[in-house]
Amino acid sequence: MTLRDLPSVDSLLQRAEAAQLIDRFGRSLSREAVRASLDLAREKIRSGDLPASPAELVQISEAFLRQWTTPSLRPVINATGVILHTNLGRAPLSRSALEAIQGVADGYSSLEYDLQEGRRGSRLVHVEPLLLRLTGASAAMVVVNNAAAILLALTTLAKGREVIISRSELIEIGDGFRVPDVMRQSGARLVEVGTSNRTHLSDFEQAIGPRTALLMRAHHSNFRIIGFTSMPSRSELARLASQHGLAMLDDLGSGALLDTSAFGLGHEPTVQESLQAGAGLVTFSGDKLLGGPQAGILLGSTDLIARLRRHPLARALRADKLCLAALQATLMHYLRDEATREIPVWQMIAARPADLQGRVESWIQRLGQGQVLESRSTIGGGSLPEESLPTFCLALDTPHPQKLMERLRTGSPPVIARIEGDRVLLDPRTILPAQEQDLQSALRSAMQVADRPALHERKA
């Protein structure tokens, strides 16, 4: 067959097999796929390969259509043991939060309508009272994420002025994201004080001048400084700021409302502790230890929050109805003292090692292979760096661990695990109970292919 012998686009679209593609994917996209398959056929003919038949060209077109219409954002099973896995979407939402999203998404809602007064209202009323009751703050607002919260706070309160921060807190987190870069975008001038490991209250005090707008603390996120270190406490910084007519901004990052030390972890400063220490403004993420949707939450004094709300940037960064619905439902769990029962992140943190071991043993019975391996789970998400929890994993011995990992990743649903030594490990702590049946199917399918010798190995 020569290039001239290739069928036309229209002739391929008139075939019976193509009619099924048109029904499923639409004529326009099917036509584009047929063109792509013909382009591929031309390349093969030019390189000397055997040409595809018309039926094969339709099959290739279908492959293109499947590739183009398969969502890249898909549910996955997180078997890594990293609870707040940023690459896997951080905190999974509670059932109530999911129902709340569905409730406001499939129709109209009272997002900015006061049902009592029958007139326009504020979208913040859905979460602000809950945040105030839970934390003791005077005022609150919500934006799209914590970086946006910092940007809004610094733009409003410190544009063209100075923000004093310890050198040890000018950090870089995932994907090359640097906190100082966001701070500079606000128009504020950073004044770095102290050294990489030790900063004293006197360093802050000596740096305060007529252009100073804020004293700031920032969460270390994904690392910890140990050894010969020092840093003024939140209350010391807050008192110093107050003495000079300033405010202290505390970027908590992870946003814990519960005491993490009660679960065998190091103590993560809570939102309540920061406010009680005198911070004028506290910011944190909604999808870390809070266990809710992606959001940036700002708590603080009434006058500071009022200034943020009036800034034009506040509208550009405001949270949408789906975020607010999920956040409202998540906060309700704390209000009802049911966070460890209903919020997946806290269910995972509170899970007992003996229960995790029992889950692994049941998997082994159903799979007919694997071993129980004692290991550690981590929190992740820039929360509690270097902290971990005891766990038991399913360890799978396979001659091709990387191949098994690839098959798990590309299966349906995708399963993300980890390798230690020559074994593939799956940690039950981060696997939701409702996912276990799908996990079993994915494991069986992946292991059958991964353990099958390659063609050259069978010939040998």
Q: Pick the most confident of 51-60, 180-189, 324-333.
A: 324-333
Looking at residue 424, its amino acid is V
**Calpha distance 289→255 (Å, rounded):** 6
Tokens 């939060």 correspond to what residue? 97
358: how many CB neighbours lie within 10 A of its CB? 14
Residues 221-277 pLDDT 10s = 554 555 557 788 899 999 999 999 999 999 998 889 999 999 999 899 999 999 999
* Same-domain check for residues 270 and 294: yes
CATH of the domain at 171: 3.40.640.10
Describe the chain by its helix, strand, coil percentages, rounded to 5: 50, 20, 35
- pLDDT for the residue numbered 167: 85
**Calpha distance 350→368 (Å, rounded):** 29
Q: Which long-range contacts (CB under 8 A, 24 or more apart) does 3-8 make?
A: 3/42, 3/45, 3/46, 5/51, 6/38, 6/41, 6/42, 6/45, 6/51, 7/38, 7/54, 7/57
Residues 348-396 pLDDT 10s = 999 999 999 999 999 999 999 999 999 999 998 777 877 899 999 999 9
- pLDDT for the residue numbered 228: 59
**What is the end-to-end Cα distance of the chain in Å, rounded?**
37
* Same-domain check for residues 320 and 178: yes
Which among 342, 375, 404 is the end of a domain?
342
**Dihedral of the alpha carbons of 331, 335, 340, 345, in degrees to the nearest 10:** 10
Pairing of strands 247-253, 281-285: parallel
Domain region containing 26: 3-69
Report yes or no: 102 and 322 within 8 Å, Cβ to Cβ: no
* Same-domain check for residues 230 and 299: yes
* Same-domain check for residues 135 and 248: yes
Report yes or no: 240 and 205 within 8 Å, Cβ to Cβ: yes
* Same-domain check for residues 260 and 389: no
DSSP string computed for 155-179: HHHHTTSEEEEEGGG--B-GGG-BH
Query: Mean pLDDT over all residues of the chain?
Result: 91
pTM listed for this prediction: 0.89
* Same-domain check for residues 315 and 193: yes
Over 50: is that where the pLDDT of 110 sits? yes
Over 60: is that where the pLDDT of 301 sits? yes
| Number of domains forming the structure of the chain | 3
* Same-domain check for residues 185 and 300: yes
CB-based burial label for 456 (10 Å; 0-12, 13-18, 19+): exposed
* Same-domain check for residues 157 and 65: no
